Amino acid sequence: MENFKPLKQIKASDEVAQQLRTAIFDGTYRAGDKLPSERELIESFQVSRTVVREAIKGLEASGLVQIKQGATGGAFVKTLTFERLSGVCRDLFFVGRLSFKEICEARLIVEPQIARMAAANCDEMYSKALLDADLHESDTLEYPETVVLRQKVHCLLADMCGNHFLAAISKSLLQLVGEINEVLDTDTDLIHPVGLHKEIVSAVIANDQDKAEQAMRNHLTEFLGILQKIEQDFRENERTLIQSMDKKSR
């Protein structure tokens, strides 16, 4: 007789989580979107509240959604990034084991190619989204909202490139730079003056792949210069503080 393996009964919550996961990965629900409410999911799947909550907790544990409390709360789709790696790299920066130069060198490898691919894929819908993002990047200077606005063009290009892995790398690097500068409390207009994305946006909308790639490379090179000055000031202030503390302890 054949050595058949016993069938495994799939938990209802696992099936619910898998269908929601599929809906996120195929773009039905994008980063920032709110998943249907508990009541709606209960009605759609014909399962209990306990099953739905267990499924959502599983998605939260895997980093796909963020649970927000309150009247406007719920389960919101998170941007797919290498979040743990970003956290480790942020810590490495503040102990002097990682520099903005190294981060931007990685971006210079990835993002010009992303811009080229985005230019090939740009359509009317994405053109409108890019122009809107560029227009509203200064709606607020308050952290962390200002970081989201100044990075919106880059995030859209990542989504447009059609490669989920490259998009995740790009967004992780963006997240890393944003988190570091939020801690440093860097002035938004100092680190990223308005208008730095216009040449990139124009090239992508025109479907000019060569120009889009070069415009992104130029932008990141200019941005690196700004970041290096910010880091230099931070390191010098840090050394001065340490020296001052050493003198007081003597």
All structural domains of the chain: 12-77 (1.10.10.10), 83-249 (1.20.120.530)
- 115-144: pLDDT as tens digits: 999 999 999 999 999 999 999 998 988 878
Q: Which two tokens stand for residue 105?
A: 């060198």
Q: Each residue of 221-242: b (16+ CB within 10 Å) or e? A: eebbebbeebbeebeeeeeeee
Q: What is the mean pLDDT of the chain?
A: 89
Q: In whole angstroms, what separates CA 114 from the centre of its chain? A: 14
Kindly indicate the confidence band of residue 9, based on its pLDDT and cuts at 50, 70 and 90.
Answer: low
- 74-85: pLDDT as tens digits: 999 987 777 777
- Whether the per-residue pLDDT at 1 is higher than 50: the answer is no
pTM of the model: 0.74
Closest to 57 in 3D by CA, of 83, 39, 82, 38? 38
Instruction: Tell me which DSSP letter residue 64 carries.
Output: S
Q: Which two tokens stand for residue 70?
A: 């309150």
Mean pLDDT for the stretch of residues 61-70: 86
Instruction: Give the Cα separation of 116 and 109 in Å (integer).
Output: 12
- 158-178: pLDDT as tens digits: 999 999 899 999 999 999 999
